[in-house]
Structure 1
Amino acid sequence: MRSMLGSMSLQLKLTFTFLLILIPLVGVSMFANHYSQGIMNVQISDRTKGALLTSLAYMEQIASNMDQQTLLISSNPNIVNIFRDIEDPLAPNHLYDIHTVQQQLSSLTNINGAIQEAYIVHGASGNGVSTELGAMRWPKVKEEAWFQQVVKSIGALVIYMPTSSPGGGQNLYLKDANIYYIRLLDALRDSPEPNVLIFGVNKLALQNMIQHLQTTERMNISLFYNHHLILETNPAAKMTYASDMFSMKESSGAWAIQLEQPKDEIFKQSERLQLFTYLTILLSVLLAVWTAWLMYIQIIKPLRQLSSAFKYVGSGELNYQIRHGRRDEFGFVMNGFNHMAESQRRMIEEDYEKELRLAKSEFSLLQSQINPHFLYNTLDSIYSVAVKCNMKEISEMVLNLAKFFRVSLGKGKITFTVEETVQHLLYYIRVQQMRTAHFTVEVDLEKGSESIPVLKLLLQPIVENAVIHGIEKCPFEGELHIRSKVHQHLLYIEVEDTGLGMPAARLKQVQEELSLLTSKLYRVPQESPASQFFGMKNVKSRMKLYYGEEADVLIESEEGLGTKVTLIIPIHREEEEYEAARR
């Protein structure tokens, strides 16, 4: 903990300290909120459970009432005897009796408002009587599932709900809007052709009995019998708020009732308390942060300004000055820093100007030592004497050497195209061929790479190493290959020889020395030209200085087989400068 605080800034330390002070307050507030919400949840659950159980008691009472009434009618001899032992209740000689039964059923439905309609169906013929339709014909009634269920119940009350799904028992008389209470007529007597008594109760009557539970428009009450849904008071609310609903389901026998309501309605009061708690916590946190910020403005901010100023000056921005209007101790320190930075800048600029003047003097001295015109005229004189004395080899060497120096020192250009570079290099190679006389040269420039400009004299040190350290010491005739190719935005130039190659240890040493040169550390140590790897270091340092970090020099070598050096040069920057120079 101590090490973590030590690595934090002062502003974070202050803020962290104030927040630690708030932890007990936040903890108590969260506990009180959670505790009160738990109590409210228990109370709501208890009240809801009691209301649901009361509604289930109503459903069971209706079922018990239907059981008594159907039992009373099914055992009434005046009705039972009419349907007993007859082939067709709709025969002309039974019409009066059937009318009497219809009147009795109609009286029952008028007394009991819950009963929507009543039927008596003769099992043998499928004919019967209805309070709404009068005489009715119900073909193949014995084949329907509900009828078979009633027969199997042996006089017990059967509660049946029609369904509109395929194969669900839907028929011409039983409606989806009703729930039916069915019992065998004359259940006490074993008859080979049973008759049934049917009471149809509209689901709206049941819905009216549980409608009092729905206290809001977003609540939904569902009634089930034997796990089958009978009705829903508000199915749209269930679909709309399905992802965030409070649900409670209670069962009693075959009946079950479920209440669903959005949580934001139920826990509205507790959410207000919770919101108030969160607002209090938020205000406390903001107050702590605000207090820490005030202290930061007065104490920490000037320290951070000083720290940033030291970083800027340390990175080389010597002109950086701290802008402030303070007149306290921090202002005195900031003014002292500004004076120190200004003095440091002046000292460095004076030293830099001295070094720059010294470098210009050295460069001027070097230029005065190399007079291109004097060099060209001298080489031309040697060439004329060699031709006059019929010294063909000397004249050709002098001619190629003159061309080489003329391109190297002339035109005031720092870059040449790949094609011009190779042509210039061939003058030097020809001189070396005449000197050693035992190697051949092969040039392969990929189409499109010839016009790409590169720094001059990049390849000459590499070719010189290949000839002097590789091919010249071979007992056999060697080969020198110069290739170029373009891949994406990079130009690859390869110089490969079939000379002696390098031992693995020396190759590793060369690669390690070159790896130390980067775009930020490109200067070659000030050593004599005779120091090892000076030429390769010079090439890579110039490339890093001019092309940046993407430029690189790769060396591959195998002792006895030869060496290959690959220059990797970014194209885009050179192309832009080359096009600008042409314009």
Structure 2
Amino acid sequence: MILVPLTTLFGYTYTKMSQIIESNILDSTKQAFDQSIDFLTYKIYRIFDISNSLAIDENITNILRNDPDSYLLSNQIGDLAYLRLFLSAYENDSDVSNISLYVNNNFIYSNDNKHIFSMDSLNNSKAINIINTTNSRFVWGTSNYFNNYNKSLDYISLFKTVKNPDNFAEDIGYLKLNFNKTLIEDIITKINSLPNTISYIINSEGIIICSSENTDDIKFLTDLDKIQSYSTTNSFITTSHNSKKLYIKSSSIDKTDWYLVTILPESSVIAKINSQRIYLFLILIVCGGTSIALAFYFVNSINKRLSKVISGMRCVQSGDFNHFIENDSNDELGELIDSYNYMIGKMSILIEEQYKLGKSVKNAELKALQSQINPHFLYNTLDMINWMSYKKMNKEISVAVNTLAKFYKLSLNKGKDLVSIKDELQHSNLYVNIQNMRYNNRISLRINVDEQIYNYLIPKITLQPILENAINHGILGKGEGNGLISILGYSTNSDIVLIIADDGIGIKEDKLNLLLSNNLSSVKGSGYGLKNINKRIKLLYGENYGLSFESNYGYGTKVKITIPKIEKTDKTF
């Protein structure tokens, strides 16, 4: 009776230990992978920010806009000296090793070939072909993306267009920022905690940018469809190659068309597990022998009192909280009996506290849902105001800032979770006004809400995400032209109904089915906002309330909001 459980325990423990070690290895590798993604993103953003600073620098754009026919020689010599000094100053950055500027072929200094190059030197290069065919503003590539390709130059480049501030369709120059490939390789190598682990970066054309190991061993995994599918999950994916099991994880890198991929062989994990097996075996032998020696001594003394505890537990299971056990010992089982007696004495109190705690958790969850406001709207508005400042549009800036201030004043609502329908409509009107500043008054908002429901309450920031969805994926989704959004509001016997309709492109049937089935977790982007609204309303008012959808693809979408009638009072919070 001892040996059989011990053998079973050994097998079970070894299996669980193997699972734990495997899980720990995958978790630690995933953590290193995530840290590498964060560090790579940080480095990429630093280089990208430098390129942005150079591409919009007023002195550089003024120089590049010069007409070669009226560009004085003395001015060209002075500008060449300035550009050399200016570009070399950025090369002191620890991440950027070299910066090149490609200028008009007719500038005298276009053949400087140190910092300054002619745009003719880019003809038929892979980088310029990508820019021209995809109309991109920037390209990340290795040295073979350029005509001056040299295998001895082991670097990666960010190639970026310099636009004419007066005509954004015109490229007046190009920037190339080089940085050493080792900068990336040193980061991804830190992911490999076990032997034979391979990490590498691959771009959207299936070209391996850099790798921690020999790339010949990983050419089997350059299928971008698989890599992209692997990047949709937050954990490792199991696959096989040449009858060998592999763990694979991938993730896209922001601001690039790159994917970071890590391949962890199962054989390396098993080797780690087997090294721990001998220690487990020795521990089980020692513990098993000791257990056999002590089992006979303890079993008789414990059995009687344990039966009392079991009997008491059964009484608790049947709902009897008044069954106390007499105790005359101070050993471990005696302490268990005392704990049991104390437990059933406090059971009623704990049940009551658990009920109160459940209500608090629900309220906390609702607060968390209400706080999830997409920051992209604020970023885009501030970016619009920034460009207005470049254009010295002082009056428009004043209007935009004033409108944004009113918008967020209503959003905050002095910390209150519910607002009047009147304030929510004003909040929506301010949002559409700001969006019209961005999109040249392409959106018309028509509000037809019964004034009798103005003082009824609605969760704050309910309409704005729906309007954002209607603008970004409805009106703007159909291309050129203006669009109309209408808000209809009325009351029924006990409910308030608000209908937001747009004449945008509409929703395709498959996505609409997801919305109609309330499977909003499958929808990305603005769908997350819709899920948020729906869940907030259901948490507040119950499953009978929330959102419903109706759409005719190519003609528009309607979103219906149903909430109960709750009238505004001075004590509403």
The TM-score, its normalising length taken from structure 2, stands at: 0.38
**Structure exhibiting the larger radius of gyration computed from Cα positions:** 1
